[in-house]
């Protein structure tokens, strides 16, 4: 299905729900010499999403944003039905930053009866979020592969907030020889440092007060490194104490690892990725930063 609507800015935006139609539209754009940029999302937009779209707008001629709450990346204890959705709001926000096409495929079209084909990586998902969400990245890599084949982008934009996802997608693109440029968009934060996320919708007022502790922990870790601390275990211990000093918090993981392989590092002698996953109430938050060792 193709729906063309006029936005508040007087432009036209396409809403495509049919997979073959999206493929034909992508073919038409490519034949016309247009560069397609894809921003894959699960919707319920915030400023972080819009920043990725603005970045994508600069990367090509036709900006496609997909909205698909992907069932294969949710675990058995994660309630996909509870994931927040508001398509009309999302569409208006997408229009405001110049999106050309919103691709909104139904789940039964993306995963037809008897579906059995998945894309999985051997090592990168065995770290960080992959430890507590063992099938999550199989679902991510599979749906992104499908979106690449449907939207046929020259460039795709992903947020650095989920850095493990970004690393996995880059590795998959290299391994499978996709002719697609992958661009990472910086983390967008609230005034108190909390990384913007659709899951922030779940907070109570009291939980919201504890949520900035992730960013505060990353800042404290970088300060320790700048002061000469190089031992990852001591930094991780500090991080755990700081996080658990706030009410409503529960740690999934605190890790300091190699920024490319995600393997744990014991000593920080160059750049190292510090990544956190913390429950604040029922909301599972992730955040990260690259720790820079100061050279003498």
The answer on pLDDT for 6 being more than 50 is no
Burial class (CB in 10 A: 0-12, 13-18, 19+), 215: buried
Regarding the domain delimited by 2-185, which CATH topology (the fold level of the hierarchy) does it fall under?
Rossmann fold (3.40.50)
Distance between CA atoms of 52 and 39, rounded to whole angstroms?
7
- CATH 3.40.50.620 residue ranges for the chain: 2-185
pLDDT bin (cut points 50, 70, 90) of residue 4 is low
Q: What is the average per-residue pLDDT within 118-132? A: 98
Digit-coded pLDDT (tens) for 131-159:
999 999 999 999 999 999 999 999 999 99
What is the reported pLDDT for 2?
Answer: 59
**Residue 68's closest CA among 133, 123, 150, 125?**
150
- CATH 3.30.1300.10 residue ranges for the chain: 198-290
**Residue 173's closest CA among 150, 151, 156?**
156
Share of the chain above pLDDT 90, in %: 92
Is the whole model's pTM more than 0.85, yes or no? yes
What is the reported pLDDT for 1?
Answer: 57
CB 52 within 8 A of CB 162: no
Digit-coded pLDDT (tens) for 209-260:
999 999 999 999 999 999 999 999 999 999 999 999 999 999 999 999 999 9
Q: Which residues are catalytic?
A: 49
pLDDT bin (cut points 50, 70, 90) of residue 164 is very high
**Residue 258's closest CA among 276, 269, 271, 239?**
271
Element containing residue 140 per DSSP (H, E) = helix 136-151
Contacts of 88 (CB under 8 A, 6+ apart): none
Regarding the domain delimited by 198-290, which CATH topology (the fold level of the hierarchy) does it fall under?
3.30.1300
Q: What is the mean pLDDT of the chain?
A: 95
Distance between CA atoms of 293 and 296, rounded to whole angstroms?
9
């Amino acid at each position: 299905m193709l729906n063309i609507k006029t936005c508040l800015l007087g432009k036209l935006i396409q809403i495509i729900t049919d997979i073959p139609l999206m493929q034909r539209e992508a073919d038409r754009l490519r034949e016309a010499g247009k560069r397609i940029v894809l921003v894959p999302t699960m919707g319920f937009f915030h400023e972080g999403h819009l920043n990725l779209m603005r970045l994508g707008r600069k990367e090509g001629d036709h900006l496609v944003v997909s909205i698909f709450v992907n069932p294969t990346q949710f675990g058995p204890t994660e309630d996909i039905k509870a994931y927040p959705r508001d398509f009309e709001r999302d569409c208006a926000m997408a229009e405001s930053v110049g999106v050309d096409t919103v691709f909104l495929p139904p789940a039964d079209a993306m995963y037809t009866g008897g579906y059995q084909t998945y894309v999985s990586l051997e090592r990168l998902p065995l770290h960080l979020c992959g430890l507590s969400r063992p099938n999550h990245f199989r679902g991510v890599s599979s749906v992104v592969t499908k979106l690449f084949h449907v939207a046929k982008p020259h460039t795709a934009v992903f947020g650095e907030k989920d850095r493990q996802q970004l690393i996995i997608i880059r590795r998959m693109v290299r391994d499978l020889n996709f002719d697609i440029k992958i661009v990472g968009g910086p983390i967008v934060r609230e005034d108190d440092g909390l990384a913007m996320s659709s899951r922030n919708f779940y907070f109570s007022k009291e939980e919201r007060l504890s949520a900035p502790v992730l960013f505060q922990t990353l800042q404290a870790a970088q300060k320790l490194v700048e002061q000469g601390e190089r031992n990852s275990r001591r930094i991780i211990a500090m991080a755990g104490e700081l996080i658990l000093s706030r009410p409503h918090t529960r740690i999934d993981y605190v890790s300091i690892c190699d920024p490319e392989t995600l393997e744990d590092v014991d000593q920080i002698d160059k750049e190292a990725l510090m990544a956190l996953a913390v429950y604040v109430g029922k909301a599972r938050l992730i955040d990260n930063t690259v720790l820079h060792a100061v050279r003498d």
